[in-house]
């Protein structure tokens, strides 16, 4: 019933609701598949990147984002690849500011590896960005270089300092990797909470082919949490973002700790989000192959109506959930890398 009403709604601006009654309020938009790092769990060392003509222009990305806002999205997250390596990316943030000013949008946020933050933090704040997620898996510069293949830890630290100085709230995301940063988990908690940042651990997901076997990387967060609870008291927090993280308050640090556990506990029932790649491909679920091409309707007409029709049709195919499995020598759940879909 919900399906039909949504599909044939006479109101072009009617909000997006999927077949399971979930309203789509959150859109994550990848603005590039390129990155200045090659994290071992995210990309292979010799990635092939998309030709420029396939990638939406910044004006097209603005039109796409604005159409989702028109259809009821309240939150946009700009991601990649590394969003801040896209040339002139700040023009997109400047353009999106109008939706924050009008009240149509609650938030524009960013997920970044932090390498370029020192340069852009103040301008992001000027564009109305209030929060950024910075990905940081280790505090050790040598290990940081190893996990990112060529990242510069000091540059990220400078970027974080600049973000603090610009008044941005920071959440640190760390992918839990067996034998790599599991022993460092407590140090990461102390560091992040000591600086007033939220910290979220993420289970590695089977996205895209890798040189390494995923089973060797996978660290169940149930185990990581048990380890932390040897020395920390975690109580479930009332804080919820509507997203996949489950939060805990940490008594000893006074900070908040999140766990994103797509493998050991999936979070699909409350999923209110979709993802769009930099080529305008809409993925209704991070862990499924089904997708819709939005670039063709976007480029076909100056009117937004074909684009809106394509989005509505796609949302009606949003699946109930994903079914990730990590097993030795298993194939990835989906062939595309996280950097392509947008993390
Ligand atoms: N380059 C930016 C960054 O690193 O924050 C944004 C894009 S990145 C793909 C977004 C997030 O996805 C990062 O926090 C990264 O650690 C995470 N990620 C990448 N590949 C992943 C995987 N296979 N499993 C879990 N998280 C992954
Ligand atoms: Fe780049 Fe982010 Fe992927 Fe690392 S996780 S390779 S920084 S896109």
Percentage of residues of the chain with pLDDT beyond 70: 85
Question: Is the CB–ligand 2 distance for residue 37 below 6 Å?
Answer: yes
Listed in sequence order, the residues at least 6 apart from 116 whose beta carbon sits closer than 8 Å to its beta carbon are 36, 82, 84, 85, 159
Q: Is 335 exposed, middle or buried (0-12, 13-18, 19+ CB in 10 A)?
A: exposed
Q: DSSP 3-state assignment of 26?
A: strand
What does residue 171 show for φ and ψ, rounded to 5 degrees?
Answer: -120, 130
Ligand 1 mean position to 4 CA, how many Å? Answer: 36
Q: Output the pTM of the full model.
A: 0.90
Question: Is the CB–ligand 2 distance for residue 30 below 6 Å?
Answer: no
- Tell me how far CA of residue 184 lies from CA of 104, 176, 180, 190, 308, in angstroms: 41, 10, 8, 10, 46
Per-residue model confidence as pLDDT tens digits over 283-337:
988 777 789 999 999 999 999 999 999 999 999 988 777 665 544 445 555 555 5
**More confident of the two residues 215 and 285:** 285
Query: Among residues 81, 55, 3, 47, which one has the least CA distance to residue 295?
Result: 55
Per-residue model confidence as pLDDT tens digits over 72-125:
999 999 999 999 999 999 999 999 999 999 999 999 999 999 999 999 999 999
Cβ-contact 259, 185 below 8 angstroms: no
Question: Closest residue (by CA) to atom 4 of ligand 2?
Answer: 39
Q: Which atom of ligand 1 is closest in space to residue 206's alpha carbon?
A: 23
Ligand 2 mean position to 146 CA, how many Å? Answer: 13
CA distance linking residue 131 with residue 163, whole number of Å: 9
Question: Is the CB–ligand 2 distance for residue 43 below 6 Å?
Answer: yes
Q: Which atom of ligand 1 is closest in space to residue 30's alpha carbon?
A: 7
Q: Which atom of ligand 2 is closest in space to residue 113's alpha carbon?
A: 7
Percentage of residues of the chain with pLDDT beyond 90: 69
pLDDT of residue 10: 58
Domain ranges of the chain: 26-341
Question: Is the CB–ligand 2 distance for residue 339 below 6 Å?
Answer: yes
The answer regarding whether domain 26-341 maps to CATH 3.20.20.70 reads: yes
């Amino acid at each position: 019933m919900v399906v039909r009403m949504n599909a044939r709604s006479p109101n072009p601006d009617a909000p997006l609701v999927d077949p399971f009654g979930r309203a789509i309020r959150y859109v994550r938009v990848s603005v590039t598949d390129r990155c200045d790092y090659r994290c071992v769990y995210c990309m292979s060392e010799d990635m092939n990147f998309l030709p420029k003509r396939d990638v939406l222009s910044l004006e097209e990305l603005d039109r796409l984002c604005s159409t989702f806002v028109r259809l009821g999205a309240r939150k946009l997250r700009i991601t990649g690849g590394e969003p801040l390596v896209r040339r002139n990316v700040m023009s997109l943030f400047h353009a999106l500011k109008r939706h924050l000013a009008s009240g149509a949008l609650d938030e524009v946020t960013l997920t970044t590896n932090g390498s370029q933050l020192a340069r852009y933090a103040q301008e992001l704040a000027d564009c109305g960005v209030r929060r950024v997620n910075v990905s940081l898996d280790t505090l050790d510069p040598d290990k940081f270089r190893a996990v990112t293949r060529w990242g510069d830890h000091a540059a990220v630290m400078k970027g974080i300092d600049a973000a603090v100085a610009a008044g941005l709230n920071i959440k640190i995301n760390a992918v839990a990797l067996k034998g790599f940063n599991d022993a460092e988990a407590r140090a990461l908690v102390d560091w992040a909470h000591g600086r007033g940042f939220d910290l979220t651990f993420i289970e590695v997901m089977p996205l895209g082919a890798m040189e390494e076997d995923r089973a060797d990387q996978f660290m169940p967060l149930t185990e990581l949490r048990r380890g932390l609870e040897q020395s920390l008291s975690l109580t479930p927090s009332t804080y919820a973002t509507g997203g996949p993280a489950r939060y805990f308050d940490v008594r000893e640090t006074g900070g908040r700790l999140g766990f994103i556990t797509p493998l050991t506990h999936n979070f699909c029932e409350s999923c209110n989000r979709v993802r769009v790649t930099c080529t305008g491909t809409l993925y209704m679920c991070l862990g499924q192959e089904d997708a819709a091409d939005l670039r063709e309707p976007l480029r076909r007409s100056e009117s937004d109506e074909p684009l809106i029709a394509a989005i509505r049709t796609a949302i009606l195919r949003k699946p109930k959930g994903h079914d990730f499995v990590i097993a030795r020598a298993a194939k990835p759940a989906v062939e595309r890398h996280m950097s392509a879909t947008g993390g």
